[in-house]
C-alpha cells in the first residue's frame, strides 16, 4: 500500500475474500460448511472420548489416533470460524499479527499431523513385520515422546516463518486470495524479492511432507513384502488393520499436495478452483478421519453402536 505522500508503507492488516462472484450465495454456502465443521469437531471428540474411556484401546495405534483427532480439531478451528465470519458477517479484515498467528498455526499443525501419520505407519510396520517386538518397541513412554517430538518438529519448522514474513514490505496490495492466511498466498503480495521465502517453503515441504510421505510409502512396501508371505486369512487381517491408516494418509496428503501445486504452478485468480480447494482442504481430513476409523475399526464402531443403543433405550417411554 502507498500513503498519501507517496511513500511506501507496510500493511498493518489484510483483506480476506470469500468466493469471488458468489458473494450472494456464500451466505447460504456457509451453512453446509458450518455443519461439516461441527461434524468434524463432534466426530473427533467422540473418538478421543471412546479411546480415553476404553482401557482395551490404550494401545499405540489408538493413542496416535487420539493425537490425530486432536490435531484435526485444532486445524479446522484455526480456519473455519474466521471463514464463517467472512461468509455470514462480511468480516474480511484481519490484522497483520493475527494473520501471522493463523498462518503459523495452520502450517505447524499440518506438520504435526504429517508426523503423527508417519508414527502410525511405523506402528503398523512394527505390528505386522515384527509383532513379537511391538510391545517393547512402542511402549507408552516412547509413544508419548513421539507425540512431543511431533509438536517440537512442527513448531520448529515454522519458527522462522514470522521472521521471513515480517521482513517483507507489503506496499502494492493487501488483498489475499483465500478466506484465511497461508504463507504461499501472503508472500505473493510482497513488494520485494521473495526467493528466500520460496526456498524456505520448499525446504519445509521437502523435509516434512516429502520425507514423511516417502517413509510412509517405504513402510508399506515392507509391510506388503511381509504380508505376501502369510496365509490368506492372515493377509486379510493384516490388510484390515492398515486400511484406515492408508485412507487417512490419502485424505491428508492428496488435498495438501494439490493445493501446493495450484499455488506454485497455477495462475492467480484464474478460477474459483484454488479458492474452493483452500476453503475445503483443511476441513476434509477432520471430517473424514473419524468416519473412516469409526467404520473400519471394530472396537470404535462397537462402542459408538453401544452409545446409540443406550441413548435409544433411555429415550423410549
DSSP assignment of 164-218 equals: HHHTS---S--B-SSSS--HHHHHTT-SS--HHHHHHHHHHIIIIIIHHHHHHHH
pLDDT at 19: 77
Residues 6+ apart with CB under 8 A from 105: 74, 78
**pLDDT 10s digits, 7-35:** 344 678 899 887 777 777 888 888 998 99
**pLDDT (mean) for 203-208:** 91
Residue 160's alpha-carbon distances to 12, 166, 193, in angstroms, are: 20, 10, 17
88-92, 98-102, 113-117, 211-215: lowest mean pLDDT where?
88-92
pLDDT at 313 over 70: no
69-73, 121-125, 160-164, 174-178: lowest mean pLDDT where?
174-178
**pLDDT (mean) for 115-137:** 93
> Considering the chain, what percentage of its residues have pLDDT values greater than 90?
47
pLDDT at 231 over 70: yes
> Considering the chain, what percentage of its residues have pLDDT values greater than 70?
91
Residue 267's alpha-carbon distances to 31, 176, 177, 273, in angstroms, are: 29, 14, 12, 11
Average pLDDT, the chain: 85
93-97, 229-233, 260-264: lowest mean pLDDT where?
260-264
pLDDT at 233: 84
**pLDDT (mean) for 287-303:** 85
pLDDT at 315: 42
Nearest to 172 by CA among 156, 200, 194, 154: 194
pLDDT at 95 over 90: yes
Judge whether 181 and 103 are in contact, CB under 8 Å: yes
Which has more pLDDT, 213 or 272? Answer: 213
pLDDT at 126: 94
**pLDDT 10s digits, 43-61:** 999 999 999 988 888 899 9
pLDDT at 242 over 70: yes
pLDDT at 6 over 50: no
**pLDDT (mean) for 155-181:** 88
pLDDT at 236: 85
**pLDDT (mean) for 214-225:** 94
**pLDDT (mean) for 292-296:** 85
Question: Which residue carries 469471488 as its cell?
Answer: 20
pLDDT at 276 over 50: yes
**pLDDT (mean) for 62-77:** 95
**pLDDT (mean) for 199-228:** 92
Euclidean distance between the first and the last CA atom of the chain, given in angstroms as a whole number: 66
Amino acid at each position: 500500500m502507498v500513503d498519501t505522500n507517496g511513500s511506501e508503507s507496510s500493511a498493518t492488516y489484510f483483506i480476506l475474500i470469500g468466493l469471488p462472484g458468489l458473494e450472494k450465495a456464500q451466505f447460504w454456502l456457509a451453512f453446509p460448511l458450518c455443519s461439516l465443521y461441527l461434524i468434524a469437531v463432534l466426530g473427533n471428540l467422540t473418538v478421543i472420548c471412546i479411546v480415553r474411556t476404553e482401557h482395551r484401546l490404550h494401545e499405540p495405534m489408538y493413542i496416535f489416533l487420539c493425537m490425530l483427532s486432536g490435531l484435526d480439531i485444532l486445524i479446522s478451528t484455526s480456519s473455519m470460524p474466521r471463514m464463517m465470519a467472512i461468509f455470514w458477517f462480511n468480516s474480511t479484515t484481519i490484522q497483520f499479527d493475527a494473520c501471522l498467528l493463523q498462518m503459523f498455526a495452520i502450517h505447524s499443525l499440518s506438520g504435526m499431523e504429517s508426523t503423527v501419520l508417519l508414527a502410525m505407519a511405523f506402528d503398523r510396520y512394527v505390528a505386522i513385520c515384527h509383532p513379537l517386538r511391538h510391545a517393547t518397541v512402542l511402549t507408552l513412554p516412547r509413544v508419548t515422546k513421539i507425540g512431543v517430538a511431533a509438536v517440537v518438529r512442527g513448531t520448529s519448522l515454522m519458527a522462522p516463518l514470522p521472521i521471513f514474513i515480517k521482513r517483507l514490505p507489503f506496499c502494492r496490495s493487501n488483498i489475499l486470495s483465500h478466506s484465511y492466511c497461508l504463507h504461499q498466498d501472503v508472500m505473493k503480495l510482497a513488494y520485494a524479492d521473495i526467493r528466500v521465502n520460496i526456498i524456505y517453503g520448499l525446504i519445509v515441504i521437502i523435509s516434512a511432507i516429502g520425507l514423511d510421505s516417502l517413509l510412509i510409502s517405504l513402510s508399506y512396501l515392507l509391510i506388503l513384502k511381509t504380508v505376501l508371505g502369510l496365509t490368506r486369512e492372515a493377509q486379510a487381517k493384516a490388510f484390515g488393520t492398515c486400511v484406515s491408516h492408508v485412507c487417512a494418509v490419502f485424505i491428508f496428503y492428496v488435498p495438501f499436495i494439490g493445493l501446493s501445486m495450484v499455488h506454485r504452478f497455477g495462475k492467480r485468480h484464474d478460477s474459483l478452483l484454488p479458492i474452493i480447494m483452500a476453503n475445503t482442504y483443511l476441513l476434509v481430513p477432520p471430517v473424514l478421519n473419524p468416519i473412516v476409523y469409526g467404520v473400519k475399526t471394530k472396537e470404535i464402531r462397537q462402542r459408538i453402536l453401544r452409545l446409540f443403543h443406550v441413548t435409544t433405550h433411555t429415550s423410549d417411554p
